[in-house]
Amino acid sequence: MSNSVEQLPHQLREDCIRGIAGSQKKLYYNFYGFAMGICLRYARDRDEAVQILNDGFYKVLTRLDRYDPSKPFLPWLSRIMTNTAIDHYRAELKHPITSDVAELEIQGKENDIQSKLNYDDLIKLVQTLPPGYRTVFNLFAIDGYTHEEIAEQLGISVGTSKSNLFKARQKLRAMLEANDNKTEINTTEINSGQSTALIFNEQFEPKQDRQIFQAGA
């Protein structure tokens, strides 16, 4: 993403709030790639990602008056998209995935699945995980949430969060081993706690499933 769209121009924010023609679509197109990168990580496929994306942008466009323009825009946008994905998870999954090992402590080296895949490969594998595993893995391993924060966000115990992360890593390792037998995968380290959604910037062409803009905006 170029520097020109990393921040939300003050005039564009004001135009969106006032409903000036074309302003909301301009914001949507400018930040589509960044937001879609986040949504894809939490979704099982692109169709679900688009649903999360459109719901998230609707919230963005209707809450711009709450955004403090003196602060960076991307973290604010990222938080809304992540929270929208969590809301989607809550709505779709009535019974969170649990484990008999409720108080499992995650141990071992951190140079596991994340450091063995490039980002695109990781996303493809993460999308195949069950919703509970996928959500916890994203929140902890990529977005930097603690297990305590995840437990509060998803309404599960800290032990369940740790267990789901452990199971997610197990499944990803198994899939990685299977893929290693088929094709060579590039190795790029992905740092825990640091969002890497920017890698997706401007790779995707915006495509709407439903109307998310106000009339004329």
Instruction: State the pLDDT at residue 15.
Output: 96
| Count of the separate structural domains present in the chain | 1
Residues 6+ apart with CB under 8 A from 104: 159, 162, 163, 166
- Give the residue carrying structure tokens 């915006």: 206
pTM of the predicted model as reported, rounded to 2 decimal places:
0.67
Do 50 and 207 contact (CB within 8 A), yes or no?
A: yes
For residue 73, is it within any domain?
Answer: yes
- pLDDT at residue 111 above 90? no
* Neighbour-count burial for 131-152, b at 16+ CB within 10 Å, e otherwise: bbbbbbbbbbbbbebebeebbe
> Count of CB atoms within 10 A of residue 212's CB?
19
For residue 86, is it within any domain?
Answer: yes
Q: pLDDT tens for residues 40-66?
A: 999 999 999 999 999 999 999 999 999
Distance CA 22, CA 31 (A): 15
For residue 156, is it within any domain?
Answer: no
- What average pLDDT does the structure give for the chain? 77
Q: pLDDT tens for residues 200-211?
A: 333 444 555 445
For residue 75, is it within any domain?
Answer: yes
For residue 85, is it within any domain?
Answer: yes
Question: What is the domain-level CATH number for residue 38?
Answer: 1.10.1740.10
Count Cα atoms within 13 angstroms, Cβ side, for 182: 5
Which alpha helices (DSSP H) does 43-140 contain, by range? 46-62, 73-92, 119-126, 131-137
For residue 202, is it within any domain?
Answer: no
Length of the chain: 217
Do 20 and 9 contact (CB within 8 A), yes or no?
A: no
For residue 174, is it within any domain?
Answer: no
For residue 72, give its domain range: 3-94
For residue 146, is it within any domain?
Answer: no
Instruction: State the pLDDT at residue 215.
Output: 55
